[in-house]
Chains A and B, each alone.
Chain A
């Protein structure tokens, strides 16, 4: 149960220190650290990353959502294809989904050219892949539960009853 609470807080802000999490919960610092160790060891927590609004940076960052259709055969299942695709560092997310296509793949690169080349030269030729549809991300409004923008100004009165 305590792990669940720690997980919730890390999902809110992975940079909360163990001491801060301890202050917010009934756990002490050592218990928080143990819970985090356990979550990591069990593979529940797979990593920690910053949530970035690329539009705020000068450097271009190109992202695309790619729909993939695949044909399975007796020797090749979804997991086999996924394993092969996931190895590419350009692929930042890969999910098997229900609906009109099979995989939902997120790809990142420094330019449209780089991403296009990656898809046409590395992804499309995979024999099981029958179709790719690439959507370039134009603007992101919300990622990982965090809304992008200037942030809300606190327009409350600074002291009120």
Chain B
């Protein structure tokens, strides 16, 4: 017999990243600038705490919403860092990565037929997540002229006034764009005016290289309609430990927890111990990693300018988003540079509307490799100029 697949699963095309992954894996001389996770290991103190928790046999489930101690620590952390006030008892849920939290939100707030506007280019999971939940996706392309920030014009042009939910991801994967307070203000106004829910993925918040990250939930009248997603994968280099969280009004978090308790029961216990220690004692490690990323960011941006590829000044996450030179589509360029020079980058189209003609270049890689990769890119551009 053949399995009859559900329509909503069949609707979703295979990930565009997968193909490049397969080509890159075939060769052993590839320097990859296609990686969407830190090259650092989790700070040792956090790993040590995880090991200690295993030694002590702390391997049972935790409360559905996560260990109370961890939720308390998260509440203190987000209050301190981002001026976000949430009650650890009712308004925080700890999940298996921020990705789980985002999925819970789609399932908790999106009904079949609801429209979910997604500011794009963006992380590749939002669109399938909406489709799996039965919703309709409305891509809202952002533009290089706006430094890939979302504007009310872009929202109106896409028809987002009719959307029920708006998904934001700033600092942005894949562009590295950030939204300042002044950029968010009109978006908040738009959302309030059209009575929408905002799902704000702020996983890269700590990786903001100029000024401080501002959350849209801090604007007047926004807290009640916003879910903020964050986690330990990026800033604390804990991707494989799978730990994230969502912050929101009690009834919304309660609804997400309803799904979470059946689907996941609780986030990985060992990872929760690591996360608690990460918040307790790893601030210096985070600062050090951020300063390393910042140097690499400046290095890569400088090199693109020297090579003669147009690149806007990315100020967040660990990506920059250069323009593909004339004569190539993003996909052609990415494929050719991988074959000819052994450098892996991801074509921008993969990340949705507005990404075409661009490449996502990750600088979550040591400087030595970055230097070599940029030299190879330079040789490629020179050979095809």
A residues in contact (CB < 8 Å) with B: 9, 13, 20, 22-26, 152, 154, 156-161
Per the bound structure, the CA–CA distance linking A106 and B34 in Å amounts to 45
Are B39 and A154 in contact, CB atoms less than 8 angstroms apart?
yes
Contacts of A20 in B (CB 8 A): 299, 367, 371
- Is B134 an interface residue when CB atoms closer than 8 A count as contact? no
B residues in contact (CB < 8 Å) with A: 15, 17, 20-21, 24-25, 30, 32, 34-37, 39, 41, 123-125, 173, 295-296, 298-299, 302-303, 344, 346, 367, 371
Per the bound structure, the CA–CA distance linking A63 and B32 in Å amounts to 40
Contacts of A23 in B (CB 8 A): 298-299, 302-303
Are B344 and A158 in contact, CB atoms less than 8 angstroms apart?
yes
Are B36 and A160 in contact, CB atoms less than 8 angstroms apart?
yes
Are A161 and B298 in contact, CB atoms less than 8 angstroms apart?
no
Chain A binding surface, main DSSP class? loop
A-B contact count (CB 8 A): 56
Are B32 and A159 in contact, CB atoms less than 8 angstroms apart?
yes
Contacts of A160 in B (CB 8 A): 17, 21, 34-37
Per the bound structure, the CA–CA distance linking A66 and B125 in Å amounts to 60
Choose among A13, A24, A161 the residue with the greatest number of B CB atoms under 10 Å from its CB.
A161
The residue of chain B having its C-beta at the shortest distance from the C-beta of A25 within the complex is B298
Contacts of B15 in A (CB 8 A): 161
The residue of chain A having its C-beta at the shortest distance from the C-beta of B16 within the complex is A161
The residue of chain A having its C-beta at the shortest distance from the C-beta of B19 within the complex is A159
Beyond A24-B296, A25-B295, whether A158 also contacts B24 by CB under 8 A is yes
With both chains docked as a complex, state the minimum distance between the C-beta of A111 and any C-beta of chain B, in angstroms. 36
Top 3 nearest A-B pairs (CB, nearest first) are A159-B34, A23-B302, A159-B21
With both chains docked as a complex, state the minimum distance between the C-beta of A8 and any C-beta of chain B, in angstroms. 9
Contacts of A25 in B (CB 8 A): 295, 298
Are A159 and B20 in contact, CB atoms less than 8 angstroms apart?
yes
Additional A-B contact list (7), CB under 8 Å, known A25-B295, A154-B39, A156-B39: A9-B295, A20-B299, A20-B371, A23-B303, A24-B296, A159-B32, A161-B15
